[in-house]
């Protein structure tokens, strides 16, 4: 409040309006999110900020004075009206996702966050901050799809409610069966998971023998890509280069996979570490969290090297396999940027030994 009072005393703009008013106008009109002021009784759009041009391809003047529901998908309009009624009563959710019409005729997913009820010019109103929500919607749809797929797979291998155990009490049969089911979907050779798991375990025995003895480490390696069951086949099996949007969808598999592991209660944090962080980079440029250096769990750092080596030395739909020597050189070149240098140092003699055998 003090800063606004100070501005109103010291500034005398040509248009006669105090600095505080100009400041708020500048903030609203230059926000990247679209600001709506809505009459909660009539749904009339009292004000719409210029950012609506980017969001919906519409000029604010073509929306102001009209009911918001005129621009909402018919299937969502009733819920929008119900939310306004609940908001007038002081209840209801603050944030909601809905579809609005773009000027070109397409429907755009948006997320709207509402203010408390405000009295404006004798009307009950609310300010809505509205942003594009297509990425969120795709993520949630992928999550629902992945949950369904996982339950189906667990049901097929007879472990949805009771887990298969070996004589020593471990759950190898469940994880092996689930890994096999996942492989059949997205790996033509059905061997990638086992190849990379065995190599990653061998590398771990060199880097940290105690870690290699942890039973759940193998489970994490086997299930490292479990989140890909939430990625549509059209993207996962696409032979050509992915678009930016498709790439973002694929990258969701790490956080999605960690969430799915909660449906397999016998897995420890060690397995979660591999699934969640195996695409982080030593220099912090990886995903999903941009972790850097030793902030990335060691198991994930080791697996990242093993996974890259297996990818480079085996055919992929978009390229032919490289030689072991070429793969070693490429991974060495990425030490200190993509990979932990200490892990790469342990990897090189192991890979050369594999090449010589």
Residue 65: predicted pLDDT: 95
Question: How many C-beta neighbours within 10 Å does residue 234 have?
Answer: 8
Please indicate, yes or no, if residue 278 is contained in any of the structural domains.
yes
Q: Which domain holds residue 45?
A: 31-132
**Residues 49, 177 within the same domain:** no
Helix (H, G, I), strand (E, B) or coil at 224: coil
Residue 172: predicted pLDDT: 53
Residue 316: predicted pLDDT: 67
| Boundary of a domain, candidates 132, 158, 184 | 132
| Boundary of a domain, candidates 132, 164, 193 | 132
**Residues 128, 141 within the same domain:** no
Question: How many C-beta neighbours within 10 Å does residue 295 have?
Answer: 12
**Residues 207, 341 within the same domain:** yes
Q: What CATH number does residue 79 fall under?
A: 3.30.450.20
pTM of the predicted model over 0.95: no
Residue 324: predicted pLDDT: 92
Name the domain count of the chain: 2
pLDDT digits (tens, 9 = 90+) for 313-332: 987 666 688 899 999 999 99
**Residues 185, 240 within the same domain:** yes
Please indicate, yes or no, if residue 16 is contained in any of the structural domains.
no
Residue 274's contacts (CB-CB under 8 Å, 6 or more residues apart) are: 217, 220, 221, 223, 224, 297, 299, 300, 303
**Residues 216, 325 within the same domain:** yes
Alpha-carbon distance of 120 to 177, in angstroms, equals 62
| Boundary of a domain, candidates 101, 132, 163 | 132
Low-confidence ranges of the chain (pLDDT < 70): 1-21, 24, 91-93, 134-190, 262-263, 265-266, 316-319, 357
Please indicate, yes or no, if residue 153 is contained in any of the structural domains.
yes
Q: What are phi and psi of 128, to 5 degrees?
A: -115, 125
Residue 72: predicted pLDDT: 92
Residue 243: predicted pLDDT: 87
Residue 12: predicted pLDDT: 44
Residue 227's contacts (CB-CB under 8 Å, 6 or more residues apart) are: 146, 252, 253, 254, 255, 256, 257, 258, 259, 260, 275
**Residues 95, 220 within the same domain:** no
Alpha-carbon distance of 256 to 279, in angstroms, equals 13
**Residues 126, 150 within the same domain:** no
Q: What CATH number does residue 223 fall under?
A: 1.10.3210.10
**Residues 149, 294 within the same domain:** yes
């Amino acid at each position: 409040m003090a800063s606004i009072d100070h501005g109103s005393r010291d500034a005398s703009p040509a248009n006669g309006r105090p600095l505080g008013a100009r400041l708020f106008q500048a903030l609203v009109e230059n926000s990247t999110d679209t600001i709506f002021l809505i009459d909660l009784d009539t749904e009339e759009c009292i004000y719409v900020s210029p950012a609506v041009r980017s969001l919906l391809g519409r000029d604010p003047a073509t929306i102001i004075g009209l009911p918001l529901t005129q621009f909402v998908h018919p299937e969502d309009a009733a819920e929008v009206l119900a939310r306004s009624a609940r908001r007038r009563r002081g209840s209801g959710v603050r944030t909601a996702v809905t579809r609005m019409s773009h000027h070109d005729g397409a429907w755009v997913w948006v997320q709207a966050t509402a203010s408390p009820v405000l009295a404006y010019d004798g009307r009950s109103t609310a300010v809505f901050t509205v942003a594009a929500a297509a990425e969120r919607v795709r993520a949630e749809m992928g999550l629902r799809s992945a949950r369904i797929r996982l339950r189906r797979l667990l049901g097929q291998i007879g472990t949805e409610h009771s887990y298969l155990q070996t004589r020593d009490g471990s759950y190898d049969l469940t994880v092996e069966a689930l890994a096999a089911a996942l492989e059949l979907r997205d790996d033509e050779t059905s061997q990638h998971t086992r190849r990379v798991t065995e190599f990653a375990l061998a590398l771990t025995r060199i880097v940290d023998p105690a870690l290699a003895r942890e039973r759940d480490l193998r489970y994490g390696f086997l299930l490292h890509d479990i989140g890909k069951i939430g990625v549509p086949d059209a993207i996962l099996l696409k032979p050509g280069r992915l678009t930016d949007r498709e790439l973002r969808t694929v990258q969701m598999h790490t956080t999605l996979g960690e969430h799915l592991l909660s449906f397999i209660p016998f897995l420890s944090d060690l397995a979660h570490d591999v699934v969640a962080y195996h695409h982080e980079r030593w220099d912090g440029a990886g995903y999903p969290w941009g972790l850097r250096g030793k902030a990335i769990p060691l198991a994930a750092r080791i697996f990242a090297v093993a996974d890259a080596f297996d990818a480079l030395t085996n055919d992929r739909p978009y390229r032919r396999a490289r030689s072991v020597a070429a793969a070693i050189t490429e991974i060495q070149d990425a030490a200190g940027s993509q990979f932990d240098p200490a892990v790469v140092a342990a990897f090189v003699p192991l890979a050369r030994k594999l090449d010589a055998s």
